[in-house]
Structure 1
């Protein structure tokens, strides 16, 4: 642990406020805990669908850092002048999977969902706003089965809520990030969705309010220790690409 006397005083001035995509929770909680231990800096994290937290920032929510699950919401805030210039880093990648509740069948192809659902529900994050839902719907379209399964989709406010429905056996299958499946032992991966069926999954991070404190935390996110924690949870580091 770093001696408090060696830590810049600005780190202790007030809590650093991070608005982050819900799918980052398991890994980012660990990264934040490590940072707080090393620096003594208080950090608060608000998790939600990228669309929800981006809109909160648009409405004036006091965020220091925005950590999105896709580029579109970051680009929107940047275009509106709500992202500090030259602070964005495309930090992580991810992949999609079909998850299954206990007792459900694994899939050989994504098209097998049509048969296995048998009129039951498919859990997804909101398909018109939340990145995981957007990516998932695009994958189903690319596989040629969207029209057949779209009426069976149970949409949730974020990907962790979609995960929870399958974990609770409220629905048999869902589409989430591989990192979400990794974090929930009650579900299994029924099928790994080929990445060519959707746009690349990229997690950009940037400062909303540029300060020494936000810069210090962004530096921490790209450190070897933080990247190792993200990789341990299944994320694909993009640093250096």
Structure 2
């Protein structure tokens, strides 16, 4: 190598190294952490997969009872978005000052049904004083936790409104969340259970025996929130997308009622 070529290389190499350092690095995909009610699993998994494919950002969803998730958020769990099956638990998170400004909206509705084990079942006329306790006999009624999980609270409210909670209460088998209650009926461990209509649609091992009157329990509303410490633009983008046309199409497919935007 000539001295001239060596000198030129010695000058260009630092310049090239500096240029490499100055070049913008590819943007890393953001990770959106979502805490969501167990009843949303099938629908939200579907929507999250579509959103990931469209944006390149990653969504990690943790499913459990809305109350359990709210308690975790109140204790400092690092979630970016929270979707509850109950307005009351979302109120607790908001009272604690953990929701971002303009970061709460009601997105979905649902209905409450009595399910039975098996693909088909005899229809049940759900009315005041109906004979659910007699139907159960010595068997159990599967419900989510009746004092903390929204589906369980709605179910207890409905049975109370219909005047049969006292007779049914000793026969209730409580599960950690609504999907766990669904599994008890699907596997035949309980002949009947109370879940959301969307849960019943998601499991071929159960059938809907009847739908509880809408006025027998508080309205089933799913609020979504962007949490205060959510720092990435992707967090806000995912939260906004929950009320998008794509989300509405997915949620309707799984049987949810999509609430008007801005409600």
Q: Do both proteins adopt the same fold according to a TM-score greater than 0.5, normalized to the shorter chain?
A: yes
Q: 1:135 aligns with which of 140, 145, 154?
A: 154
> Which residue is equivalent to 1:107?
124
After TM superposition, the structure 1 stretch with the greater mean CA deviation from structure 2, 161-170 or 218-227, is 218-227
Name the SS for the 2:115 alignment partner.
strand
Question: CA separation in 2, counterparts of 1:113 and 1:14?
Answer: 49
1:159-199: CA deviation from partner (whole Å, max 9, x where unpaired):
00000000000000000000000000110000111110000
Question: CA separation in 2, counterparts of 1:104 and 1:114?
Answer: 17
Q: Which runs of 4+ in 1 moved over 3 A?
A: none
- How far 1:105 sits from its partner (Å)? 3.5
Residues 30 and 234 in structure 2, CA contact (< 8 A), matched pair in contact too: no
> Which residue is equivalent to 1:224?
245
Question: CA separation in 1, counterparts of 2:126 and 2:89?
Answer: 31
> Which residue is equivalent to 1:234?
255
> Which residue is equivalent to 2:218?
199
Name the SS for the 1:84 alignment partner.
strand
Question: CA separation in 1, counterparts of 2:95 and 2:126?
Answer: 39
TM-score computed with the length of structure 1 as normaliser: 0.93
Q: 1:159 aligns with which of 169, 173, 178?
A: 178
Write the mapping of 1:167-178 to structure 2, written as runs, cut at 5 A: 167-178=186-197
Q: Give the number of equivalent residue pairs.
A: 232
> Which residue is equivalent to 2:69?
53
1:73-130: CA deviation from partner (whole Å, max 9, x where unpaired):
1000100111112110100000000000127543122513122101210000000000
> Which residue is equivalent to 1:67?
83
Name the SS for the 1:200 alignment partner.
coil
Rg (Cα) greater in structure = 2
- How far 1:210 sits from its partner (Å)? 3.8
Q: Structure 1: where are the runs of 5+ without partners? A: 1-7
Q: 2:99 aligns with which of 58, 66, 83?
A: 83
TM-score computed with the length of structure 2 as normaliser: 0.85
> Which residue is equivalent to 1:35?
51
Question: CA separation in 2, counterparts of 1:182 and 1:97?
Answer: 11
After TM superposition, the structure 1 stretch with the greater mean CA deviation from structure 2, 69-78 or 12-21, is 12-21
Question: CA separation in 1, counterparts of 2:177 and 2:126?
Answer: 25
Superposition CA RMSD, Å? 1.4
